[in-house]
Structure 1
Amino acid sequence: MKLLRFFIRYFPPGIILEYKEGGSIKTKSIDLLDLTLDTDPDELLVEIQQSEPLITESRTEQVRELIHRLQQKQAHNGSFSLHQEVHVHLLPLTNVAFNKSGSKFITGSYDRRCRVWDTTSGQQLLSLEGHTNIVAAVAFNNPYGDKIATGSFDRTCKLWCAQTGSCLHSLRGHSAEIRCLAFNPQSTLVATGSMDASVKLWDVKKGKEVATLKGHSAEILSLCFNSVGSQLVTGSSDQTVVIWDVASESLVHMLVGHTGEISNAQFNWDCSLIVSGSLDKTCKVWEAVSGRCVATLVAHTEEVLDVCFDSTGQLIATASADGTARVFNAATCECMATLEGHKGEILKICFSPQGNTILTASSDKTARLWDVQTGDCLQILTGHTLEIFSCAFNYEGDTIITGSADNTCRIWRCKDEA
């Protein structure tokens, strides 16, 4: 084997090795999920060298520099200030999403249109028109960002060119409204979940249906690929979560135990765990391989409306209609922090890419930033006049977008701590 070059992955932290073996060029990753600002780079370098024969003495300085760059990205970004308010649609928004760099974002709406916006200027770049009913789901094919998928209550999914706004394919086949969608990491497939209780897989390049996944008995409310694209997890109003094998197009496990509809379900980074949130007021953590329930998290007093892992898969965050959010250790399932302060239900929750901050969106018209370790509220983002139903960080963690029922998006930029 011969090492050709390095690539760096900031979130979760890792180093990708490109090497030649025989006549083939291959890649492997060194995951550094426990990397912090306090990690000793020299000690870590020794550990890497001991476990990875491709890292020879001549490459140590390069690896040390990559570790240093990864540590620099772990630093907290500071507070945020309003950069732009964008009046995006005439009717309420349904969803918002960044491209990977955060240079663009897309909005879907009850007005049947999708719009693509420049994050810096707040100017509209594209108007994607063609759906005949509510646009319920939108996504960029990150990390590439050259395509957009939109799912609608008109029962179709459309694939668009992110540069020109031209419609590449209209994907037809569902017999009821599309509620959710996602690209696989390779951007070769897009999955759609529908009120017809099925999931469909579509070939992105050809615009053709690849498979129909049946197993749920009621509408699909959430879906998510794992980080390598080999499996898909879906949550349904039938109170179950299903793990699907993408290659064989088969049901691997049906996860039974919740007594209310599933609000969200996600894989962690290494694909070993799944977290699910439910209107039964609980979250459950499941082993992806066995389908066994590892723990039931019962900290909330009202419905759990959203759940997520941090980028390393080591922490879980939950958001509830009781107005609180919680942070759990994914390995022990112990509650690390309770986030209290919102005056209404929390509709959306996400970690910053660095994993040290949590962002919440609430029906109380505010979004809040929280310290993951202490649970302290770091900042309240105000200005929306109706509930905030969506929020997101960009890949770098220095830009936030909040989407509200007041028909506006607010773009927030990080202020340097200096």
Structure 2
Amino acid sequence: MRQPVLTCLVAWLMCLCMALETSPLWAQEVQENTPQVPIPSVPPTEAILKVHAPLGVVITIDGNRFEGPTTFRFRDLVPNRRYHSMVTVSLQGKELANRILFILGGSQIEWAVPELQEAKLPFPPQTGHQLPVTSLDADQVGLRVITGSLDKTLAVWDVASGWKLSELRGHTQAISSVSMSSNGLRAVSGAGSNPFLPAEAFVWNLEDATILHKLKLEETVLTDVAISPDGKEVATGTEDGTVTIWDVDLGEIVRELSTVESPIQTLAFDHSATHLVATNAQGELFLWDRGSGDEGVSLEREPTAIEALAFHPIKNQLLISSQKGTLEVWNLGDGSLLQAMPKTPRPVHSVGFSPTGDRILVGSRDQEVYLLDADSGENIRTFRTGAYGPVTACFTGNDTFVTRGGSGIEASSIQRWRTIDGEQLDALVGRLKPVTGVAFQDGGNAFVTVDGQMWIWNPLWTKVRKIGTAGNWGYREGYLHPDGQTILGISQQLELWKSDGTELMQAMQPSDGKPKCLSWSPKRAQAFTGSEGGTFWNIASGEQAGRIFEHGASLDSADFDFSGDYLITGGHLEPEAFVWDVKTSSKQRILRGHTDGISSVRFDSSGGKAITGSLDGTAKVWDLTDGSELLSLEGHSGEVTAVAFDPLAKLVITGSEKGELFVWDANEGTLLREWHLHQGRIHSLSVHHEGRLVLTGSHDGTARLWDLYTGDELLQLLTTKSGEWLIVSPLGFVYGNDNAIPKLGWQWNPNKEESEIRSIPTKWLAPGLLPRLLSGERWLPSW
């Protein structure tokens, strides 16, 4: 760790700071003995600021310039009053960073210049698609797979490791089709099956996950897209029967190919990139020379609807599956029928050749996949995917393939299979699950994260504990008792566990379905679960203690006040929040003002105020003495999904569906700080009892720890279903259990140079990372 070089001179300055009440603030340079040992017992009228930066920096605090010192003492502070101080760090005349810091008496603040933080996560958060996968394609050798989803995103996967290499965002509609070049470096995606919205076709550079071109389509429905194997041209097909060829480098039209006025169903380039084929809804097939645009040979076949087709990778042949259920191989040299294969047991949905062309993969319209001999048509093996409905199958090399299909959870993942023995391999669903719940321990430094499993992170332990056996149901929320001995969580029921995971002490089953939300009263004698209605529970006996019925059959968020005598609830189907008397289960107050459903509710520490977050994009602060609206916090990009007060009720923290995290002044409603680092919805947030730290859980599969005073991100916390856990500092320090680093796809890279995933120098492995950061210290490299 760097040893700061400070001057021995003492310089005083007057800093006039913006605060809840503007007040003079004295700052003094101080000599520091050991930066690894926090200065003990900072008086409540003083605060210490350490700025971690290279030697030779100039630090400016509210207009006052310091050359040399990096540690300062603020004096004459009013206890429990928060001050704002603008700090700027410059080196050789160039500004490295500036930040508004929150100064509170009795605190020691460490700020590391963020521009010097070099470590990075080269892979995106390892979560799968949120909604069903609609299309997929693979490169020629089967190293990568690209998937498109109803969630409007695409993902590129490494087949061997299962890592998600990149996530492609930009479409405003559900993805309907996708095609990848043979080398896996280019792709085209289509979204535009809604006739009331403009169709979208994007060309992607997969090397850096960027959009090369947004193709300018006419006002029509887009039905399919294809990219040539060499990645130089793209074809689009539309509902009016038009096929258009585009230049990938320029994003401009090369030529338009007209067919009869019938919607294009399928487009494909042959593997030599010399021909383009299209089929339409009338069962007609059109073949063009890619270079000239002239029509190719005509196939003398009955005009029956074509379900699927595939070019042979080596020979000049085309495989066609018709609605009659037949598989036909055609010679594209003279248009003759070479082979008619036996019907498969179930109707065909997709077809494809292996890279060597000796086998055919057939996806059926109901669960099954067939591996056929390409010469004889004989069925070598049948695979039963369990995915009800149509199945799309695609080779990833000669020995493996992937499938898409089904409903529910399996529809949003890609299954992997081995051809030689029919074994199902790990699915492409991402290494991480969405973090739906986070909670600090009341009065302590431990905390809980929930991603289908409950994890206890305690700075006094050397390992992270995984609790519970919810299986496929998964846990949604969890809370640790202040004494650290028990943890309460919800899956398909309410469960009380010993915190060492050895015993399920209580299992309480609500009568109105799987719980959606949980709150544990401060005295821990009662809990509340919400579903279609709400249930109060006696934790000791496991019996119901009361019921409430509101929120249009969906109660999604609840919170006890500090006394445990009152409860606030909200649901996404109604724009009102309700305050309840716990003893009588009676409604005491209705909070009206939102224009859409409510996703999150919280009391302040006194019980006199509440905050609600809504699908209407606002958060509102309420006076509970009369139910009046005090503040409306606007500016979120989407739904407000998580809310909280700090312990002094001076700050409001809100999270959104876009991954934004905002900090607001709880009295004035002014925006004080914002972060945009999460790449998915913030499901949950929790504030440490001392008010400095915020913990967030997101759909991107990470939990993150933030410093409210400095605005720094302190940690990323990653966990997997198989038990790996990893702590990552933005400055490059890491700590985790065996195999966590390679399995989670994290790569240490402090100098922005390529590094092997396993080659992390010992000095960057930090077993004490969590407790030291929770104590306010920052681990820093030597500059």
Q: Same fold (TM over 0.5)?
A: yes
Q: CA deviation at 1:163?
A: 5.0
Structure 2 Cα separation of the partners of residues 351 and 130 of structure 1: 27
Tell me if structure 2 keeps the 8 A contact 1:77–1:414: no
- Provide Cα deviations, 1:161-214, integer angstroms capped at 9, x if missing partner: 3356322222123321111212111111011112x2x11111111111100112
For residue 477 of structure 2, the aligned residue among 137, 162, 174 is 137
Q: CA deviation at 1:131?
A: 6.5
Tell me if structure 1 keeps the 8 A contact 2:460–2:771: no
SS of aligned partner of 2:607: coil
Tell me if structure 2 keeps the 8 A contact 1:117–1:126: no
More divergent stretch after superposition (353-362 vs 234-243): 353-362
Determine which structure has greater relative contact order: mean sequence separation of CA pairs < 8 Å that are 6+ residues apart, divided by chain length.
1
1:190-339 paired onto structure 2 within 5 Å: 190-194=527-531, 196=532, 198-238=533-573, 239-322=575-658, 324-333=660-669, 335-339=670-674
Cα distance change of structure 1 residues 187 and 39 upon mapping to structure 2, 3 Å threshold:
farther
SS of aligned partner of 1:220: coil
For residue 712 of structure 2, the aligned residue among 378, 388, 394 is 378
SS of aligned partner of 1:174: coil
For residue 172 of structure 1, the aligned residue among 485, 505, 509 is 509
Q: Please, which runs of 5 or more residues in structure 1 have no aligned partner?
A: 1-33, 45-69, 83-88, 387-399
Give the equivalent residue in structure 2 for 1:54. none
Give the equivalent residue in structure 1 for 2:109. 76
Give the equivalent residue in structure 2 for 1:182. 519
SS of aligned partner of 2:569: strand
Cα distance change of structure 1 residues 191 and 299 upon mapping to structure 2, 3 Å threshold:
same
Cα distance change of structure 1 residues 175 and 129 upon mapping to structure 2, 3 Å threshold:
same
Structure 2 Cα separation of the partners of residues 258 and 201 of structure 1: 26
Structure 2 Cα separation of the partners of residues 121 and 229 of structure 1: 31
Give the equivalent residue in structure 2 for 1:123. 463
Tell me if structure 2 keeps the 8 A contact 1:339–1:370: no
For residue 342 of structure 1, the aligned residue among 677, 680, 685 is 677
Structure 1 Cα separation of the partners of residues 654 and 671 of structure 2: 12
- Provide Cα deviations, 1:23-68, integer angstroms capped at 9, x if missing partner: xxxxxxxxxxx98746869x98xxxxxxxxxxxxxxxxxxxxxxxx
For residue 159 of structure 1, the aligned residue among 472, 496, 507 is 496
Cα distance change of structure 1 residues 36 and 296 upon mapping to structure 2, 3 Å threshold:
farther
State the AA in 1 paired with 2:527: V
Cα distance change of structure 1 residues 271 and 159 upon mapping to structure 2, 3 Å threshold:
same
More divergent stretch after superposition (160-169 vs 113-122): 113-122
Structure 1 Cα separation of the partners of residues 703 and 457 of structure 2: 21
SS of aligned partner of 1:217: helix
State the AA in 2 paired with 1:140: L
State the AA in 1 paired with 2:479: A
Identity fraction in percent: 24
Cα distance change of structure 1 residues 192 and 408 upon mapping to structure 2, 3 Å threshold:
farther
Q: CA deviation at 1:119?
A: 4.4
Cα distance change of structure 1 residues 35 and 104 upon mapping to structure 2, 3 Å threshold:
same
Q: CA deviation at 1:149?
A: 1.4
Tell me if structure 1 keeps the 8 A contact 2:438–2:685: no
Structure 2 Cα separation of the partners of residues 258 and 167 of structure 1: 40
SS of aligned partner of 1:301: coil
Structure 2 Cα separation of the partners of residues 261 and 167 of structure 1: 35
Q: CA deviation at 1:417?
A: 5.6
Cα distance change of structure 1 residues 338 and 103 upon mapping to structure 2, 3 Å threshold:
closer
- Provide Cα deviations, 1:326-351, integer angstroms capped at 9, x if missing partner: 32222232x14242543745615454
SS of aligned partner of 2:562: coil
Q: CA deviation at 1:78?
A: 5.7
1:13-24 paired onto structure 2 within 5 Å: none
Structure 1 Cα separation of the partners of residues 469 and 702 of structure 2: 31
SS of aligned partner of 1:135: coil
- Provide Cα deviations, 1:355-404, integer angstroms capped at 9, x if missing partner: 3565556667777776657xx74346468699xxxxxxxxxxxxx99xxx
Structure 2 Cα separation of the partners of residues 103 and 356 of structure 1: 12
Structure 2 Cα separation of the partners of residues 107 and 173 of structure 1: 23
SS of aligned partner of 1:170: strand
Cα distance change of structure 1 residues 260 and 104 upon mapping to structure 2, 3 Å threshold:
same
Cα distance change of structure 1 residues 221 and 94 upon mapping to structure 2, 3 Å threshold:
same
SS of aligned partner of 1:205: coil
SS of aligned partner of 2:610: strand
Give the equivalent residue in structure 2 for 1:18. none
Tell me if structure 2 keeps the 8 A contact 1:276–1:285: yes
* Cα RMSD, aligned residues only: 4.3
Q: CA deviation at 1:99?
A: 3.7
Q: How many residues align?
A: 327
Structure 1 Cα separation of the partners of residues 501 and 658 of structure 2: 43
